[in-house]
Copies of this chain bind each other. A is one copy, B any other.
Amino acid sequence: MKLKVLKANISTGKRKIAVLNYKNANELDLFAGDRIELKLGKRSTICILDVAHTERHVPVGKIMLYDETAEFLRAKNNQVLAIRIAKPPSSIKLIKHKLTGRKLNKIEYRTIVEDIVNDNLSDIELTYFVAACSAHNLTITEIKHLIDAIVKTGSIIKPKSKIIVDKHCVGGVSGNRTTMIVTPILAAAGLTVPKTSSKAITSPSGTANTMACLANVSLGEKEILKVVNKVGACMVWGGALNLAPADDKIIRVEHPLCIDVSGLLLSSIISKKISVSATHLLIDIPWGKGSKFTSKKEAKLLKRKFKLICNVSGIKSKIVLTDGRSPVGYGLGPVLEAIDVMKVLRNDETAPQDLKEKSIILAGKLFDLVGKTFWGKGKVLARIILESGSALDKMNEIIHAQGKKRLPPLGKFRKNIFATKAGKVKHVDNKHFSKITKIAGAPISKGSGVYIKVNLGEKVKKGSVLFSIYSSTKAELDYAFDYFKNNKSEFIIIS
């Protein structure tokens, strides 16, 4: 069959794509997503086939080429192309093996990761890999292979320091912006902390979302190195960097199902840490009802795996299990969390004490781990640094080095939720608060969120304000309030 070129004048920015009318595709036995080889004169290329279901833009007998494809082939309209099915990349066979539960070796993981990074796999193919890793757990050795492959296919940031400290929280708890307090505490003590954070996947805000309310977080690799070498720390968004690039592509196909695949989660986290040259790592695993890990057994299992992987990767680690049942801090949503963080750093008397204390504990564990203090005394040092204002000074240095931003305004639509009876606050439900914060518009709308006005164990009067919802639109506020009404008995339990 002869197909005539039709230039689309559309750029995809990455992949080479060609589009056939569905009638031709059927006739040629080709499917959308197939790899095809196009030949025009002496030039040939492999691209991905898309199929048009009407004749409106791609008539029968034509092949529409997106800019990248047309430019590569130097194609002109109405030139005649040869088409054939291209060979699949070599990792396809390995993914099929993995789907049957077979263990893969170092070279096999390297092959898969290289194909991921080089965009040789379609979304469908990559999804099979993620699903296979989800259905058949990876062994520690497999995770190590995967980490090595992910690190090797990306850039590495190497700050000028022998000891490089990092922390990580596996997430699942709203608020919980300890990173933004721990990082300046550590840096104020002279430690090097090149902190990169990924985006919120399941929570209403991630560290990068919250930090973005105070400073520029979209720094390049060179800028990060400059900031870290100058002020000792940074808190940036890792997503646009070339650190462990395979990881972001994997996360992209995990996202639609909101799944965290244990083996992939581990390799994702550790490869990012190795990519910033971390030597010492603290990992926070919140667990309990309403968090990612509901049983202590699950959390302990993950802890054991982290320990093993850090050991084989040559990273000194401290892994702590923390209480993940309730939100940490009062504010949920980027702006409200940023306000909480700054209150803690400023030693404001209205600062959330749970966020402060958790941050001190975590920073303390890291001081102990790197040997800054006698084992167990790190907490004392962390408190001194925070309460003396040194951490605040360091935070301001970091903000200025990254590029200070003006705090966005809070959502202008607000609704207070009142206690319907008097009593003691027994439970603040993490899952419902996380959900309502997202419904209110966070993290898309930075100023949207929830501000909790009570502490666990606190006595409240009937009619007192329990929490406030902030939204940037009336519709989102109403939608959030509806969600509250449908679940009101489960948000804050008073007895």
Residues of A at the B interface (CB closer than 8 Å) are 1, 10-14, 22, 26, 28-34, 52-54, 56-57, 67, 82-85, 88, 92, 95-96, 99, 101, 122-125, 127-128, 131-132, 134-136, 199-200, 209, 239-240, 252-253, 255-259, 438, 441, 443-445, 473, 475-476
Contacts and interface: CB of A to CB of B under 8 A. Distances in A.
A444 B84 contact: yes
A132 B473 CA distance: 40
A476 B445 CA distance: 56
A10 B82 CA distance: 25
A67 B256 CA distance: 24
A135 B131 contact: yes
B125 A200 contact: no
A134 B99 contact: yes
A33 B127 CA distance: 13
Contact of A256 (B33, B53, B131, B257): B33
Nearest to A50: B12
A487 to B, nearest CB: 16
Contact of A135 (B32, B135, B438): B135
B31 A255 contact: yes
A438 B475 CA distance: 57
B53 A13 contact: yes
Nearest to A252: B31
Contacts of A125: 256-257
Contacts of A101: 135
**Residue in A22, A54, A256 with the greatest tally of chain B CB atoms within 10 Å:** A256
Given A92-B257, A131-B127, A256-B125, A53 B444 contact: no
A179 to B, nearest CB: 18
A25 to B, nearest CB: 11
Contacts of A11: 52, 54, 56-57
B99 A135 contact: yes
Contacts of A134: 99
Given A11-B57, A52-B13, A99-B131, A124 B253 contact: yes
20 contacts: A10-B57, A11-B52, A11-B56, A13-B22, A13-B53, A13-B56, A26-B240, A28-B444, A29-B199, A29-B200, A29-B444, A33-B123, A84-B444, A84-B476, A99-B259, A123-B127, A124-B253, A124-B256, A127-B131, A128-B257
